[in-house]
Amino acid sequence: MRLDGKIALITGAARGQGKAAARAFVAEGAKVVIADILDDEGKQLAADLGEQAVYQHLDVGDEDGWTAAVERATTEFGHPNVLVNNAGILHFSELAQTTLADYERVIRVNQIGAFLGMRSVVEPMTAAGGGSIVNVSSVEGLAGMPYLVAYTASKFAIRGMTKVAAMELGKKHIRVNSVHPGAIDTKMVETAAGGQKVDMSYVGKKVALKRVGQPEDIAKLVLFLASDESAYCTGAEFVADGGATATHALNF
């Protein structure tokens, strides 16, 4: 079991990439706290996964919520030694039309949520003898994308915070890495588009592998970083984008 003895807290775990990660973690022996604001979906997933998983309501932008989530993990299973900062939201808008409220909303979930998550687990992970923090950024944390000024800013911030945390926490045997997914078939784009169905097939045609990624594609990478197989990896960027960042704008 690749994650035997691991106690993980995964945010945004009720659906999409987080849900796929929770399933993969439990299958490999981890005990998992499924953290999200989607209570019904989160509770159902925990029930499906059995005694190795519990659900905890968590707004990642709330300090007190993080305190409660870490306490829940410790009470249920022991000191967490894996954190996956997966929760995120998307907002489409031209720079000139982006309101401060919308910008701050994205920053609060994506950037501040990751900051609070990392800060919250330093003490319990140190007590556990070390651990692994996996911060989910994006290909928009590597290069810009029109109409995504807030999202891109937040994902670049996660990339930078990851490196700072890796430098500070290495002496505590805590590894910190960032994951950079490309276009993945989840409901995040649909939610940002106001709930309307979005055809992602055209995106798949633009990348080298000629398909849109699936949540399981990212879950497998996250699992590797959570496991001891990645014991010498920290402060690094791991890209899973079907080849999107292998080229540039002049590619026809």
Q: Which residues pair with 183 in a beta bridge?
A: none
SS3 of the chain: helix, strand, coil, percent, to 5: 50, 15, 35
pLDDT tens profile 29-85: 999 999 999 999 999 999 999 999 999 999 999 999 999 999 999 999 999 999 999
Measure the CA–CA gap between 15 and 157, rounded to whole angstroms: 24
In-domain check, residue 223: yes
Query: What value does the mean pLDDT take over residues 211-224?
Result: 97
Distance CA 188, CA 155 (A): 15
Helices (H), 8-148: 16-27, 39-49, 63-76, 100-106, 113-127
2 located within any domain: no
Domain membership flag for residue 1: no
Report d(CA 98, CA 115) in Å as an integer: 23
pLDDT at 179: 98
With respect to residue 251, please indicate whether it lies within any of the assigned structural domains: no
- pLDDT level of residue 201 (50, 70, 90 thresholds): confident
- What's the pLDDT band for 189 if we cut at 50, 70, 90? confident
pLDDT at 250 (0 to 100): 86
The enclosing domain of 156 has a CATH number of 3.40.50.720
Q: How many residues does the chain have?
A: 252
70 and 7 Cβ atoms separated by less than 8 Å: no
Res 193 pLDDT > 70: no
- Which pTM was predicted? 0.95
> Is position 80 within any domain?
yes
Beta strands in 81-236 (DSSP E): 82-85, 131-136, 174-181
Pairing verdict, β 174-181 and 131-136 = parallel
State mean pLDDT over 207-211.
94
Whether residue 148 is contained in a domain is answered as yes
Please tell me the distance from the alpha carbon of residue 89 to that of residue 62, in angstroms, as a whole number.
Answer: 15
Q: Where are the beta strands (DSSP E) in 173-230?
A: 174-181
Residues 6 or more apart in contact with residue 151 via CB below 8 angstroms: 89, 90, 91, 106, 110, 138, 140, 145
The answer to whether the CB of 99 falls within 8 A of the CB of 91 is no
Question: Maximum CA pair distance of the chain?
Answer: 55
Of 72, 155, 157, whose CA–CA distance to 121 is shortest? 72
**143 CB contacts (<8 Å, ≥6 apart)?**
245
Domain that holds residue 95: 7-246
The catalytic site residues sit at 151
Query: How many distinct structural domains can be found in the chain?
Result: 1
**Whole-number Å distance between alpha carbons of 73 and 90:** 28
pLDDT in tens, 85-136: 999 999 999 999 999 999 999 999 999 999 999 999 999 999 999 999 999 9
What separation, in Å, do the N-terminal and C-terminal C-alpha atoms of the chain show?
44
